Structure 1
Amino acid sequence: MPAPSLIAYLGLVLLVAAERVDELKRSRRQLHWARPRGGVEFGERHFPAVLALHVGLLVGCLLEPWALERPFLPLLAGPMVAFTIAAQALRRWCITALGPRWTARIVVLPGVPLVTHGPYRWLRHPNYLAVVVEGVALPLVHTAWLTASLFTVLYLLTMAVRIRTEQEAHAWATA
């Protein structure tokens, strides 16, 4: 029988997974909204890597604590749950601020200026910050430090490509 902490952690990871599935559904709907309005997608080739990283994070969160018998440390878990919740809140704020323009993919509408309200008032890429915080915090709720480390390094490498692609897309859209 798994430890109660593992069962609770499974619930948390499944909640985050459900949120990701909801985001993918919303993204698909909003992609269908953007395309008839001239929305153009950039970076299609790296999107599968982004998707795989998110799935890998969730799988690692589930497997590492169980397979490697990671301990549950309440003094670490408490703050990490708080950071995970804060990351989810920031992601929701980003999605709300972008409205129908938000997608999981890089889609720009020609001639439409960048969003500069909500978290975009202070940060250029707040959603990516939320993902990095989540990628560290969620695994560390149950001391899955290998998952946190691997995801963070791979995500930052992928985001270097993605952010460059976004900047090129926005330059194209506003030219």
Structure 2
Amino acid sequence: MENILLGAVGLTWAIVELTLRVRDRVRGKGGTEGDRGTRRFSGALLMAAVVGAWVLSAVAGRHSPLRVPGLEAAGVVVLFAGVVTRVWAVATLGRSFRTTVEVDVGQAVVTSGPYRWVRHPSYTGLLLAALGLGLGFGTWPGLVLCAVLPVVGLWRRIEVEEAEMTRVLGDAYEAYKGRTKRLVPGLW
């Protein structure tokens, strides 16, 4: 049952991501000049983590020492929480959300919804979703891949994005940075 739920929520996540890309194109937004290759890099590492964890799960036997039984249900819950967090962040930003690093001149700093706790809740959602898949696929190496590679991919992207936000939004964004964490409320 957990495998079906994991697949259904994973497919929902993929549809959300595809929809965001299509939405950018339809609106004539989503230029990648400002992101310095970070969308491609972070996306590649995310895909490598998910595909790697899936392959490990597929080749590891039921009684393999790589397998950690009982993580599947937790994986579904964490994956679902990640997708919900991502969608909530996108909905809160509305037309200002893009899959690329772009900030509209005159755009206000959003501090409502999940942005009241962290500066990058859509990335928090991505990281939770990847971690959920790592748990759901049920191997230790797969879990490590899904916990580490997406963070590596987003680290530089967040730096690039925050520099652009500071450049365009100025003191208002600096003040916001001073009172919120990047990805994890109260920690980081």
Q: TM-score, normalised by structure 1?
A: 0.79
Partners of 1:33 and 1:100 within 8 A in 2: no
Instruction: Tell me the CA shift for residue 34 of structure 1.
Output: 7.4
- 1:83 and 2:75 aligned: no
Instruction: Tell me the CA shift for residue 11 of structure 1.
Output: 4.5
Which of 154, 161, 171 aligns to 2:166? It is: 171
- Report Cα offsets for 1:5-44 as digits up to 9, x if no partner: 65665444333323322232223334x1577xxxx95223
- 1:59 and 2:46 aligned: no
C-alpha change, 1:144 and 1:25, in structure 2 (3 Å) is: farther
The farther-off stretch of 56-65 and 83-92 is: 56-65
Q: CA RMSD in A?
A: 2.6
Instruction: Tell me the CA shift for residue 158 of structure 1.
Output: 2.6
Output the CA distance in 2 between the equivalents of 1:60 and 1:89.
24
Greater helix proportion:
1
**Equivalent residue runs for 1:45-56 within 5 Å:** 45-56=37-48
The farther-off stretch of 148-157 and 127-136 is: 148-157
Gaps in structure 2 of 5+ consecutive residues:
171-188
SS at match of 1:107: coil
- Report Cα offsets for 1:114-135 as digits up to 9, x if no partner: 2111110121111121122112
> Which residue is 2:122 aligned to?
127
Aligned residue identity for 1:56: A
C-alpha change, 1:69 and 1:5, in structure 2 (3 Å) is: farther
Give percent identity, aligned residues only: 24
C-alpha change, 1:77 and 1:9, in structure 2 (3 Å) is: same
SS at match of 1:141: helix
Partners of 2:89 and 2:122 within 8 A in 1: yes
Instruction: Tell me the CA shift for residue 84 of structure 1.
Output: 1.0
SS at match of 2:162: helix
Give aligned pairs, total. 166
Output the CA distance in 1 between the equivalents of 2:21 and 2:143.
22
Large movers: runs of 4+ above 4 Å: 4-12
Output the CA distance in 2 between the equivalents of 1:82 and 1:140.
10
SS at match of 1:106: coil
Q: TM-score, normalised by structure 2?
A: 0.74
**Equivalent residue runs for 1:7-46 within 5 Å:** 9-30=6-27, 32-33=28-29, 42-46=34-38
Output the CA distance in 2 between the equivalents of 1:43 and 1:77.
35
Which of 152, 161, 165 aligns to 1:157? It is: 152
SS at match of 1:42: helix
